[in-house]
Amino acid sequence: MNKNDEDNMSNTNEDLLTINVHIIKTLEVKSTKEVRRMILFDGYVDCPNFRGKILPGGVDTQTEYPNKNLYLSARYILEGRDFSGRNCRLFIENNGTINSKKNSSNNVPNNNRDNTIKDQNNIKDQNIVEIQNITKNENIEENIEENIVPTIITDSEELKFLEEEKLVSHIEGTKDGVIIHILKKEN
């Protein structure tokens, strides 16, 4: 890839990566002060820059406080081929917050409830609130404000520009998970 190709690719408003996430399982612990959850996932990527899959071990670790933002930190490795056809891997870490614009009183831990540990095989369970809203195909622009920043490292020479670029992630809900859109951050 020459410098002009790289500049053209990183200056578009199109997705640099589009990651289709399928939620496998959610584990959750609720206390009277907060909720902690780990969302295990797999998925795939099929976009112009990269085609491949999420390797086993993808996890989104979330912390939710009463009437406050949902803090998330997702880590996963993609394996596949870059746009030149070479095999490669990308490590992605997404960190940020999702702030519900709706009154989400049912996601506040109940002070009268005993501490619980739940192994949730069904993501539609009532205890999953913010991520559930996303996966039910609600309009994310109307219901939440997001501030999610990805960090990427790769062994692909063609995709090295992703390591230096200022990036932002946007989430789009699907029936079985989410789509993560990674774009160049606008100035």
**pLDDT at residue 101, rounded to an integer:** 61
Q: How confident is the model at residue 144 (pLDDT cuts 50, 70, 90)?
A: low
Structure tokens at 165: 């670029």
CA distances from 132 to 46, 79, 125, 128, 157 (A): 24, 27, 8, 6, 37
**pLDDT at residue 100, rounded to an integer:** 66
List residues bridging with 96 in a β-sheet.
72, 148
Q: How confident is the model at residue 73 (pLDDT cuts 50, 70, 90)?
A: very high
**Average pLDDT, integer, range 43-54:** 97
- CATH architecture assigned to 3-175: Beta Barrel (2.40)
Nearest CA among 171, 39, 22 for reference residue 98 = 171
Q: How confident is the model at residue 186 (pLDDT cuts 50, 70, 90)?
A: confident
Classify residue 66 as left (phi > 0), alpha (psi -120 to 50) or beta: beta
Q: Which residue has the tokens 């394996």?
A: 79
Q: How confident is the model at residue 120 (pLDDT cuts 50, 70, 90)?
A: very low
Does the pLDDT of residue 36 top 90, yes or no?
yes
**pLDDT at residue 88, rounded to an integer:** 98
User: 118-121 contacts: CB < 8 A, separation 24 or more?
Assistant: 118/27, 118/28, 118/29, 118/30, 119/25, 119/27, 120/25, 120/26, 120/27, 120/28, 121/25
Lowest model confidence (mean pLDDT) among 20-24, 38-42, 101-105: 101-105
Q: Which of 48-52, 120-124, 130-134 has the highest mean pLDDT?
A: 48-52
**Average pLDDT, integer, range 68-94:** 95
| Residue 163 CB partners (closer than 8 Å, separation 6+) | 152, 153, 154
